[in-house]
Amino acid sequence: MDKFIASHPKSESLFARAQQIIPGGVNSPVRAFRAVGGSPLFISSANGAFVTDVDGREYIDYVGSWGPMILGHAHPDIISAIKSAAERGTSYGAPTELEIELAEEVIDAIPSIEKLRLTSSGTEATMSALRVARGFTGRPKIVKFEGCYHGHGDSLLVRAGSGVATLGLPDSPGVLPQLASATITVPFNDPEALKGVFSEAGDEIAAVIIEPVVGNMGCVPPVEGFLQTVRELTSATGALLIFDEVMTGFRVSRGGAQELYGIKPDMTCLGKIIGGGLPVGAFGGRRDVMDMVAPVGPVYQAGTLSGNPLAVTAGLTALRLLRELNPYDRLNAVTARLVDALLDSARECGIAATANRAGSMFTLFFTDGNVTDWTTANRSDRAVYARYFHACLEQGVYLAPSQFEAGFVSSAHDDSIIDRTIAGARRAMQRTRQV
């Protein structure tokens, strides 16, 4: 492995310094490169489809700040809007017209949302949505799916994916047993298991929360009919269906995964793209459900920086650009071309691999057979992925530092950049085969 890890002296120095004062040297676990080895890259700047590290090396970026940079880094219209907003003040702690305009833009794109409440993160959005669901139904339990990550709220850190899987932690210390016991976990894409849960505890279930396309055990789309079954079971029993579209909202289509698959949830959680690269989250849904939220209803939720004018300005600018440019057909096409080429290079090298894609989200899994749930994703060869990751870095291609994360293509990835990626990834695959 060591011979695959190139030296990045400035990043390595900064990482050593960071570890003295920041847990693990990072402010979010997957950034630490624990799953792939070596020191994380410290980024100094980003523009379009590229990031540049503190050692001055440029990479074609497929992390995209973990999804929000669908228009590319430092889009000039978004940067200009943020600068103008900052000149008017960075935070007011009071309502602004911008918040209304952002909510209207979201509601126009996602018809299942009739009312929307802004938060400062996706974790806040999912925690709040579950509290509202319990308040609305008067029921205690929630259902989530193995490998789905819904933020680091206590009741949701049960068989989560992403960073938890990367670190090998099935749960997190500090989560109270009584909270974990109110969370029922079911395998993703297993309708019969879900039916069994509802037959046993249907009258206790407040909500089912699901990533309609999982992005936190790698990209795993739903099998045909699965989301329909989830919708039918929740409707029949009075449980609410919550789509966690923090990652998929405005990513797989303007109307999110619910538009792509034709499913109408009761509530939706959003983040990432609706902040245009700044921290933001939101939850919304049916009018009667959302009217449970204070100050209209009894379910309390608040946030000092919710609706922050800089974040709302960036998000509103991004959503308006997406509506005007409608880049989704092209994004789908170039992502499909990239994924096909990655699979071809693995086959040429005799390396077992499969791939999943949903819109401009994708993951190359180093495993035989289809990946449809956490069990099949977990069969991936982490060591091969780690070698491939570092070989790609040598070729100037920056992928997620974990087998269990999705990659993202932006509208800034033009055909020439995709061609460069394919050529570099092919050389990286050949180098991976050599060990």
Nearest to 119 by CA among 267, 277, 258, 312: 312
Give me the sheet containing 397-398, strands edge to edge: 43-47, 50-53, 58-61, 397-398
Cβ neighbours of residue 131 under 8 Å, at least 6 residues apart? 299, 301
Find the angle CA(78)-CA(82)-CA(87) to the nearest 5 degrees.
Answer: 155
The helix/strand/coil state of 91 is coil
Phi, psi of 140, deg, nearest 5: -95, -25
List the structure tokens of 271. 């983040």
Name the residues annotated as catalytic: 149, 244, 272
Pure H helices in 275-381: 287-290, 309-325, 328-348, 374-377
Per the rule left: phi > 0, alpha: psi between -120 and 50, beta: everything else, 94 is beta
In order of 28, 185, 217, 401, the CA distances from 375 in angstroms are: 25, 13, 10, 20
191-201 and 226-237 helices cross at what angle (nearest 10)?
10
Question: How far, in Å, CA of 51 to CA of 61, rounded?
Answer: 6
Report the C-alpha gap between 66 and 80 in whole angstroms. Answer: 23
93: left (phi over 0), alpha (psi -120 to 50) or beta: left
Other C-beta atoms lying within 10 Å of the C-beta of residue 420: 17
